Amino acid sequence: MRTTVGIIGGGPSGLLLARLLHNAGIDSVVLESRDRSYVEQRQRAGILEQATVDVLRSAGAGARLDREGLVHDGIELRYDGRAHRVDFPSLADGRRVWVYAQTEVVKDLIALQLAEGGPLFFGAEVQAVDGADTERPVIRYTHDGREQTLTCDYVVGCDGFHGVARNAVPEHVRTTYERTYPYSWLGILAEAPPVHDELIYAHSERGFALASMRSPQVSRLYLQVPNGTDPADWSDERIWDELDARFALDADPEWRLKRGPVTAKSVLPMRSSVTEPMRYGRVFLAGDAAHIVPPTGAKGLNLAAADVIVLARAFEHLRSTGSTEQLDTYSDTCLRRVWRAEHFSYFMTTTLHTDPEQSGFDTRLQLSQLDRIATSPHAAAELAENYTGLPLA
Ligand code: APR
Ligand code: PHB
């Protein structure tokens, strides 16, 4: 088999890239190792930046998002027993964010790809890419129990943090910058109405907590827990009690979350990682295959979308002008945005979490920073601009 762009991985990056290329009349094949229902059920974050929503809409993938997505114009920060709202449109040039889960984005893109797009194979596990620095890179994969090959003009590795495409960049060319954090998140889904109509990010000496949502009936809640925590050690009641303690407000001692049946419970590690460059020869890396962020800034999916937007434009530019200029600058263009998001995610994470080694001095610095955001429009604008996402060039 052969194609113009061979895409490894059918997560948000691979699926959105395939859709953008299809709309531009460029053919592609997507190879995804898992089955469709696994990919559609995998629980991930749920905040879409304005630019991500704009591109989903213009790609014809925004209909359900426009019906079911929840528009948010701010977030609440809770710290020191107080609540402070950060307003986005007034601080970030009119931009807002949407609550629409990654699972739903993936379902919409899969349905479109199967109905209108090029081939999307599930259960197709890629082993390696050969000839990254030749004119005809070849993807080797197993499908239907047989070893197969896909010969491409270009290959894009959208295969996530544990993917294989990164290995096509020789070790002497590749550098990975990493940071791990001394805590994880325990995340739950609950059949309980969100307690507030915006997200609440809470700093507390007991640890970080986040109240998010999936719909007006379903809450998504997170608690900072030690690394290595077994979710089985956290009964539903213990989770709710701990969430209430971390969100406590001095001015409203009766404030409580709305409780309901917990339908999913899992522990997520927190890690930052960037691999440079994001291109070698005719192989490009996009999304989690090239970089991951801790979820505190809600940037993972949006960064993935930004990469493939830049890449799809570069392929269109190549087709209409014959110039590889935009493909040649792909890595540098994306890495500027990636490092901004890495910094913001690191900032949100370290400002809001309690490091087990943290001193009273460190806690007071965190509270001072949060207070600065609450009292200075400049400091609040810095958060709002980063959270809603810098506009794409
Ligand atoms: N062969 C084929 N497919 C593979 C292989 C392989 N060897 N290895 C991984 N995959 C598939 C995975 O099964 C997964 O469906 O690649 C896909 C990668 O998807 P994601 O991990 O979701 O990465 P990406 O599409 O870049 O999306 C980034 O996901 O992790 C979140 O927070 C992150 O929201 C962000 C988004
Ligand atoms: C989520 O809803 O899953 C979510 C929201 C905001 C974050 C992280 C996760 O920062």
Can you give the residue ranges of every domain in the chain?
2-78+98-178+270-351
Question: Ligand 2: distance of its center to the CA of 244 in Å?
Answer: 18
Q: Is the pTM of this model over 0.85?
A: yes
Atom of ligand 2 nearest to the CA of 214: 2
Count Cβ atoms below 10 Å from residue 360 Cβ, excluding itself. 8
Q: For residue 49, what are the CA distances in angstroms to 168, 258, 260, 278, 299?
A: 31, 27, 29, 22, 8
Q: Could you tell me where the beta strands, DSSP code E, fall in 209-309?
A: 209-213, 219-225, 262-276, 279-280, 283-285, 291-292
Q: Is 222 a catalytic residue?
A: no
Q: Is 183 a catalytic residue?
A: no
In the chain, how many H helices and how many E strands? 10, 19
Q: Could you tell me where the beta strands, DSSP code E, fall in 341-391?
A: none
What distance in Å separates the CA atoms of residue 291 and residue 304, rounded to the nearest whole number? 9
- pLDDT value of residue 390: 87
pLDDT along the chain (393 residues), means of 10: 97 98 98 97 91 96 97 98 98 96 97 96 98 98 97 98 96 97 98 96 97 95 98 97 98 96 96 98 98 97 97 98 98 97 98 97 98 98 96 76
**What is residue 218's three-state secondary structure?**
coil
Question: Ligand 2: distance of its center to the CA of 74 in Å?
Answer: 13
Structure tokens at 34: 């898992």
CATH superfamily for 2-78+98-178+270-351 is: FAD/NAD(P)-binding domain (3.50.50.60)
- pLDDT value of residue 318: 98
DSSP 155-201: EEE---TT-SGGGGS-TTT-EEEEEEEEEEEEEEEESS--SSSSEEE
Question: Ligand 1: distance of its center to the CA of 364 in Å?
Answer: 39
Q: For residue 266, what are the CA distances in angstroms to 189, 215, 221, 225?
A: 9, 19, 11, 11
Q: Is 387 a catalytic residue?
A: yes
Q: Is 295 a catalytic residue?
A: yes
Question: Ligand 2: distance of its center to the CA of 183 in Å?
Answer: 16
Of 201, 222, 280, 330, the catalytic one is 201
Pocket of ligand 1 from Cβ distances under 6 Å: 8-14, 31-34, 39, 44-45, 102, 125-126, 158-160, 163-164, 287-289, 300-301, 304
- pLDDT value of residue 188: 97
Q: Is 330 a catalytic residue?
A: no
What distance in Å separates the CA atoms of residue 188 and residue 127, rounded to the nearest whole number? 34
- Name the DSSP letter for residue 271: E
Residue type at 39 in one-letter notation: V
